[in-house]
Amino acid sequence: MELLQPSWLWHAVRTVKWSVTAGSHFDLLTFALWEKCMKEEHVTGLRSTNAERHAWWSTLVNFARSLSLDPMETDRLVLPDGDLLALRRMVLNPCAYVPQQPRGDASERTNADLHLLSFHLVAKEVRMILGNKSKKNARKEIEKWFANNTWPKTVFPPDHDERVRAACEAANNITALMSARKITVDKDKEELASHLWSD
């Protein structure tokens, strides 16, 4: 389970039968710190980490979608520029934060690549749309790329369109906040991370 909560707010987990449970809580007060932790996962993460699941990315996307564009709203006041930029990087380039530790034989690693491919496809299509390519043309290009870079029977991720829509909405919210604060980024220097496992 992944849950984004304000600092010092805790949750309880109830089990139907008496059981021994273990877990941990820690607070990440800023997205910049969260990003550093995710970068650590990228370098050292193992196969069962939360970063390998989609929940962490969906949480960030939904947070960004909920940002208010009203200059008097508190989320604008409590989200410093560095955190806004870190949030943007994590939303638009998720493969830069998933674990990249080599593992297993060729078939196992291929399955991992396909699992992470859904992150890459969304990020790739969102970048096209944000770069003023029409949604229809961006989707055609993604489908063509998918057909040329996967096995013939590989199934296109079923929730891809919803993820693209949500990520575009999140990116637009972040961009609007950045514009209001006069924050700029050099988009030419932003390289999209690959879904393939590094050796």
pTM given for the model: 0.75
Q: Measuring CA to CA, which residue among 75, 90, 73 is closest to residue 171? A: 90
Stretch 6-12: mean pLDDT, rounded?
55
- Using CA atoms, how far apart are residues 49 and 185, in angstroms rounded to an integer? 30
Question: What are the extents of the domains in the chain?
Answer: 31-189
- Using CA atoms, how far apart are residues 29 and 7, in angstroms rounded to an integer? 7
Q: Measuring CA to CA, which residue among 42, 34, 39 is closest to residue 197? A: 42
**Does pLDDT of 165 surpass 90?**
yes
Stretch 55-81: mean pLDDT, rounded?
78
What is the reported pLDDT for 19?
63
Residue with tokens 């390289």: 191
Q: How confident is the model at residue 74 (pLDDT cuts 50, 70, 90)?
A: low
